[in-house]
Structure 1
Amino acid sequence: MNNSLAWISWRLLMSRKTLFGGSAPLSLLGLILGVAALVASMAVMSGFESTLKMAMADVTGHVQVVKRSRVPDDWRELEGRIRQAEPSLVTSSRFVFIEAVLAREGKISGVLLQGVDPDRINQVLNLKGRVVTGSEDMAEPTDVPWALIGKGLANRMNLKPGDNFRVVVPIAESSNPSSFKRQVGEFRVRGVLDLGKYEWNERFIITSLPAAQTLAEIGDRYSGLILKFQDVDYARKASFNLTSVLGSPYWVRDWRESNENLFEAVMVERPGIFFVISVIVFVAAFNISSTLFVNVVQRFKDIAILKTVGLSRKDIIKIFTIQGLFLGMIGIVGGFIVGLILCVLFSWAQSHLGLISGEVYRIDGIQVNVRLIDSIAIIITTLVICFIATLAPARRGGQLSPMEGLRNE
């Protein structure tokens, strides 16, 4: 019986009186645009979050364990303690951060050097997929230390793979800590990277740990360990655990911590944007409701005949309710197609028109991400709204008596 009702509902819907007549096309178009707006907006929000997340994990590792003092220690012993506390640890690498000034062709820029063990850099960091030009491999021997630089810095300083540049580091005098001397280091560009964050692209340099230690004259000292786990989303839990295990001599931070405010903002704004744009779907669904009301009036004779041949009031209500759900599914399919087209246009616009300002949003490009959970939420929300919107016209059709319908004809 339910299959028969669905077939009757579909035949009545596809007639010229219903789907192709009156305000039905415009109502359906409004529903498609509402769903498309939901798909595109959620994809951009999810893309912003995932783009920032992968940038943090790729460039700074999943977790960083930073030493709070300059007291030398055995980093292998520290790695063993971490692995004992967190068996899911894949690998680790020593690192050091150095603030310096890059000078070239009469231009200067403040930069941040990150020195990483050359033998482990590709195991703890994911830089291969971020290469714009050149290579991420710094293992090839050279007389000048290799360096990987952000694309913004490369553009400003007119640097390309194979070019040499110099950085200057102020180092405190051992005899008089209030005075400083200049330490100049020379590096050769191995690759230009898109590091995912605007400020990193503008001032970040990655080099080998020995080269950074030599430049800063710190011997074998290091800032801490970069950790990589089997699952990037496990990093936060591991960070909390290691904080309690390692104690006060170490500061443990995961990839999310340095941009906690941005991630929290996305978490708060996502449901708000979803609700606001859902209003478009809500309005479009009730335009469909008015279309079905008109359809009920136009179908007085058909309803009367259906009741005469034995269909009950509930069956008539089901027929018009199914019509509304059919319209909802058409709107969902059309909306997802248009929404995906909008996502493609957005990706094109941000790459060709500079749609995203890195100075404002911290990132200058978003990889749109249509998540399954967002898609399910959009489908369920749209169908529920369409179902509610069809109840009134369906009840009106169910209340019609066969005599009334035939008399109006």
Structure 2
Amino acid sequence: MALPYELLIGLRYTRAKRRNHFISFISLISMLGIGLGVAALIVVLSVMNGFQKELRTRILGVASHIQITGISGELENWPAIAAQAKGHPAVREVAPYVQSQGMFSVDGQVKGVLVRGIVPDMEDRVADFRKTIQSGSLDALQPGGFGVVLGADLARSLRVFTGDRVTLIAPQGTVTPAGVVPRLKTFTVVGIFEVGMYEYDSGLALIHLDDAQRLYQMDDRVSGVRLKVDDLFQAPRIARELAGHINADAYLSDWTKSHANFFRAVQIEKNMMFIILSLIVAVAAFNLVSTLVMAVTDKQADIAILRTLGARPRSIMAVFVVQGALVGCIGLGLGIAGGVALALNIDVVVPFIERITGVHFLAKDVYYISDLPSDLQWGDVWGVTAIAFVLSLLATLYPSWRASRVNPAEALRYE
């Protein structure tokens, strides 16, 4: 099938050598501008997706999908509540915990921490602490052994290692005739973990559930029960369903509520970066306007000849739309290729730049995540592609309309 002559002429104008090389230069700049804008948008969206995924993974490695906590801070008869929760078909595992504030003291060094009492075997089913152990073992937490597993930054600030002793001061005091005396207990460091999030690595300590119950005088009560579900994105719905089946005065909260600020902030940043970088793509796309206006001026004699041969104004307009769209598509293709390649290899590129410059972009004590993650989602790529293509087409309309309005007599007067 023969191609329309508008398409053939538009392709010829794009690849032909022009008398005015400045037009070719402007076309190249427009093409590269679109490519850089598209590549930047793909990379930034991939990095924001990576941050969201990494943040969710690390938080849920320490937190839980759903938590059932007592209204008064204590939950009685937790085995029955755990059994009721386990009866839901979407709940995979349950684990009790005791959580309270405390203060560690070592050789004059004092550090406030969040103390969590766990049962190691049950905790493995709802969290990934075992994968983060740097030294020692989680199994060393034995009832009555008063062992403690510290976050890496917490251990560093206290200047302790596995096998050292630390003193834990509980906020609950013991009433004596002399007044309220703080409860003190010496613990042995049996392990050190590193989640990769400064909040947990610097402020969380794990002890055995029985030891926590003794220290905080909770008898056989716990602070709550942690649940792991089949699909973490269905946690809000499952929590609502469990609320009608749990026979206890308790709160149910899922991970989207417990850490809503983190994920909301990341989503807002992603949306704002998308808008800002879309404007960059728009600026690059509208560079095509100046390119095509100059091309129309350069081709006025050709346009006049085509008009005298019977070409309609809409055919002349189609010629320059094809030319502009082709420039935009080439830039778009380069941008997609470069953006996808960089997004897939950002874990190699960024460390290379850091080694050359000697600058660490994400300091661990400032940011929750110290590495630059990337999660390329093809839905974002196709969305960026569609936006850039539409902007490129819009940029061709005005110059093409001007070309269709060229008067053949005026254009050929001085030829």
Q: TM-score, normalised by structure 1?
A: 0.82
Deviations 1:234-269 (CA, angstroms, capped at 9, x unpaired):
112223333454377111121122332343334444
Match of 1:53 among 52, 56, 61: 56
SS of structure 2 residue aligned to 1:119: helix
Deviations 1:176-196 (CA, angstroms, capped at 9, x unpaired):
897134331323343431243
For residues 382 and 307 of structure 1, the distance between their equivalents in structure 2, rounded to whole angstroms, comes to 32
2:213 is equivalent to residue 213 of structure 1? yes
Q: Which moved more, 1:357-366 or 1:95-104?
A: 357-366
Residue 378 of structure 2 is matched in structure 1 by 372
SS of structure 2 residue aligned to 1:251: strand
Residue 298 of structure 1 is matched in structure 2 by 298
For residues 222 and 63 of structure 2, the distance between their equivalents in structure 1, rounded to whole angstroms, comes to 15
Residue 402 of structure 2 is matched in structure 1 by 396
For residues 408 and 31 of structure 2, the distance between their equivalents in structure 1, rounded to whole angstroms, comes to 30
Q: Structure 2: which amino acid aligns with 1:226?
A: R
Residue 253 of structure 2 is matched in structure 1 by 253
Deviations 1:295-336 (CA, angstroms, capped at 9, x unpaired):
223334555566677765434433322333333333333334
For residues 16 and 130 of structure 2, the distance between their equivalents in structure 1, rounded to whole angstroms, comes to 56
SS of structure 2 residue aligned to 1:91: strand
Match of 1:108 among 107, 110, 113: 110
2:42 is equivalent to residue 39 of structure 1? yes
Q: Is the 8 A contact 2:23 2:291 kept in 1?
A: no
SS of structure 1 residue aligned to 2:331: helix
Alignment of 1:215-294 (within 5 A): 215-246=215-246, 249-294=249-294
Unaligned segments of structure 1, at least 5 residues: none
Match of 2:124 among 119, 122, 125: 122
Alignment of 1:1-400 (within 5 A): 6=7, 8-17=9-18, 21-69=24-72, 73-84=76-87, 86-127=88-129, 130=132, 133-134=134-135, 138-139=138-139, 147-160=148-161, 162-170=162-170, 171-173=172-174, 179-196=180-197, 198-246=198-246, 249-303=249-303, 312-339=312-339, 341=342, 343=346, 345=349, 353-356=359-362, 362-400=368-406
Q: Structure 2: which amino acid aligns with 1:90?
A: R
For residues 410 and 121 of structure 2, the distance between their equivalents in structure 1, rounded to whole angstroms, comes to 86
For residues 200 and 217 of structure 2, the distance between their equivalents in structure 1, rounded to whole angstroms, comes to 24
Q: Structure 1: which amino acid aligns with 2:225?
A: L
- Tell me: CA distance 1:43–1:141, structure 2 relative to 1, closer, same or farther (3 Å): closer
Q: Which moved more, 1:54-63 or 1:121-130?
A: 121-130
Deviations 1:26-68 (CA, angstroms, capped at 9, x unpaired):
2223223322332343334333333332222121111111112
SS of structure 1 residue aligned to 2:186: strand
Q: Which moved more, 1:26-35 or 1:110-119?
A: 26-35
For residues 2 and 208 of structure 1, the distance between their equivalents in structure 2, rounded to whole angstroms, comes to 77
Q: Is the 8 A contact 2:304 2:406 kept in 1?
A: yes
- Tell me: CA distance 1:189–1:375, structure 2 relative to 1, closer, same or farther (3 Å): farther
Q: Structure 1: which amino acid aligns with 2:37?
A: G
Q: Structure 2: which amino acid aligns with 1:95?
A: Y
- Tell me: CA distance 1:396–1:72, structure 2 relative to 1, closer, same or farther (3 Å): closer
Q: Is the 8 A contact 2:146 2:211 kept in 1?
A: yes
Q: Is the 8 A contact 2:151 2:203 kept in 1?
A: yes
Q: Is the 8 A contact 1:169 1:215 kept in 2?
A: no
For residues 262 and 61 of structure 2, the distance between their equivalents in structure 1, rounded to whole angstroms, comes to 18
For residues 144 and 2 of structure 1, the distance between their equivalents in structure 2, rounded to whole angstroms, comes to 84
- Tell me: CA distance 1:22–1:71, structure 2 relative to 1, closer, same or farther (3 Å): closer
Q: Is the 8 A contact 1:95 1:225 kept in 2?
A: yes
SS of structure 2 residue aligned to 1:272: helix
SS of structure 2 residue aligned to 1:139: helix
Compute the displacement of 1:130 (Å).
4.2
- Tell me: CA distance 1:353–1:223, structure 2 relative to 1, closer, same or farther (3 Å): farther
Q: Is the 8 A contact 1:296 1:393 kept in 2?
A: yes
Q: Which moved more, 1:181-190 or 1:383-392?
A: 181-190
Q: Structure 2: which amino acid aligns with 1:83?
A: K
Q: Which moved more, 1:2-11 or 1:316-325?
A: 2-11
- Tell me: CA distance 1:369–1:403, structure 2 relative to 1, closer, same or farther (3 Å): same
Compute the displacement of 1:102 (Å).
2.3
For residues 160 and 377 of structure 2, the distance between their equivalents in structure 1, rounded to whole angstroms, comes to 38
Q: TM-score, normalised by structure 2?
A: 0.81
Deviations 1:83-137 (CA, angstroms, capped at 9, x unpaired):
34x4211111111113222233542211212222211222211335545x347x6
Q: Is the 8 A contact 2:7 2:319 kept in 1?
A: yes
CA RMSD of aligned residues (A): 3.6
Compute the displacement of 1:291 (Å).
0.5
- Tell me: CA distance 1:216–1:127, structure 2 relative to 1, closer, same or farther (3 Å): same
